[in-house]
C-alpha cells in the first residue's frame, strides 16, 4: 500500500510535483541544479507509474514510457514553491525509442534522412562513421528536449512539428527544386523570390547586383 502519494505531471522531459489534496509535499529542501535518482517501482498504465524519490513514494503521470525497475536521473530546475525536475539523459541516448518515433513520421523529405541517421548506431559497428552518427544523435536528442521544455503543454506531435517548423522540409524541397534542371526557369525563380523572403536571403548578392523587373 502506498503510504504517501502525490501526483506528478511530465511534459516532455519536464517533471513537476503537484500537491495532492490528501498529502503535503514531504520532499526535503532541494537545490537548483541538484541531481537526484528516482526508481520506477511499478508501472500502473501507459501513462502512470509509481516512483521513489528520496525515499518517498509518488505517483507519476507521464507521456514518456517508463519501465518497472529502471532508474531515471532528475535535475532540479526549480525548488520552490513547487519542485520542478528535468529528466536527464544517460550517456547513451535511447536510440530505439528515438528511432521508433522518427520512423512513425513518414519516409518523405528529411524524415527519411533522419531515420537513416538514427538507424546507423543501432547496428554493431565501431567505425568512425558510427561514432559520428552517435554524436549527432546526442545533439539531436538534446535539441528536442530543450525545445520541449519551452512549452508547458504536452504534445505527442512535438517531433513532427519541430521538423516542420525548423525549415528542414523547406530546405529539402528547395534543394530538389534547384537540382532538377527541368524545373529551373527564370520565371519560377522570380515567383519563388516574390513569395518567399527566405529564398531571397539565400541568393548571392553583390554591391552592384541588379535584378530584372
Cell readout for 138 is: 546526442
Q: Cell triple for residue 50?
A: 509509481
| Per-residue pLDDT reduced to its tens digit, 200-211 | 555 554 444 444
Residue 208's pLDDT is: 42
pLDDT band at 31 (very low <50, low <70, confident <90, very high): confident
Per-residue confidence (pLDDT) for residue 156, from 0 to 100: 58
CA 180: distance to chain centroid? 33
* Placement of cell 516574390 in the chain: 194
Assigned C-alpha cell, 109: 523529405
C-alpha cell of residue 200: 531571397
DSSP string, 6-54: -EEEEETTEEEEE-BTTB---PPP--TT-EEEEEEEEE-SSSEEEEEET
- Which domains does the chain show, CATH number per domain? 7-88 (2.40.50), 95-165 (no CATH), 168-202 (no CATH)
Give the C-alpha separation, 85 to 171, whole Å: 35
Question: Longest Cα pair distance anywhere in the chain, in angstroms?
Answer: 79
Q: What does the pLDDT look like over 81-136, one tens digit per residue?
A: 777 777 776 544 456 666 666 666 666 656 666 677 666 666 655 454 555 556 66
Average pLDDT over residues 30-52: 82
Lowest mean pLDDT among 2-11, 20-29, 38-47, 143-152: 2-11
Amino acid at each position: 500500500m502506498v503510504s504517501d502519494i502525490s501526483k506528478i505531471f511530465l511534459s516532455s522531459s519536464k517533471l513537476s510535483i503537484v500537491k495532492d489534496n490528501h498529502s503535503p509535499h514531504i520532499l526535503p529542501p532541494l537545490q537548483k541544479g541538484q541531481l537526484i535518482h528516482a526508481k520506477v517501482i511499478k508501472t500502473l498504465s501507459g501513462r502512470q507509474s509509481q516512483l521513489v524519490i528520496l525515499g518517498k513514494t509518488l505517483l507519476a503521470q507521464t507521456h514518456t514510457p517508463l519501465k518497472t525497475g529502471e532508474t531515471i536521473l532528475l535535475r532540479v530546475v526549480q525548488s520552490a514553491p513547487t519542485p520542478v525536475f528535468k529528466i536527464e539523459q544517460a550517456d547513451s541516448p535511447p536510440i530505439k525509442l528515438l528511432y521508433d518515433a522518427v520512423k512513425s513520421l513518414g519516409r518523405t523529405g528529411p524524415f527519411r534522412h533522419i531515420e537513416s541517421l538514427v538507424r546507423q548506431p543501432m547496428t554493431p559497428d565501431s567505425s568512425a562513421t558510427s561514432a559520428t552518427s552517435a554524436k549527432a544523435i546526442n545533439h539531436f536528442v538534446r535539441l528536442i528536449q530543450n525545445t520541449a521544455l519551452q512549452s508547458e503543454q504536452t504534445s505527442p506531435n512535438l517531433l513532427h512539428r519541430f521538423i516542420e517548423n525548423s525549415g528542414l522540409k523547406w530546405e529539402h524541397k528547395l534543394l530538389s527544386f534547384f537540382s532538377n534542371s527541368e524545373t529551373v526557369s527564370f520565371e519560377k525563380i522570380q515567383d519563388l523570390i516574390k513569395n518567399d523572403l527566405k529564398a531571397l536571403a539565400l541568393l548571392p548578392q553583390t554591391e552592384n547586383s541588379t535584378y530584372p523587373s
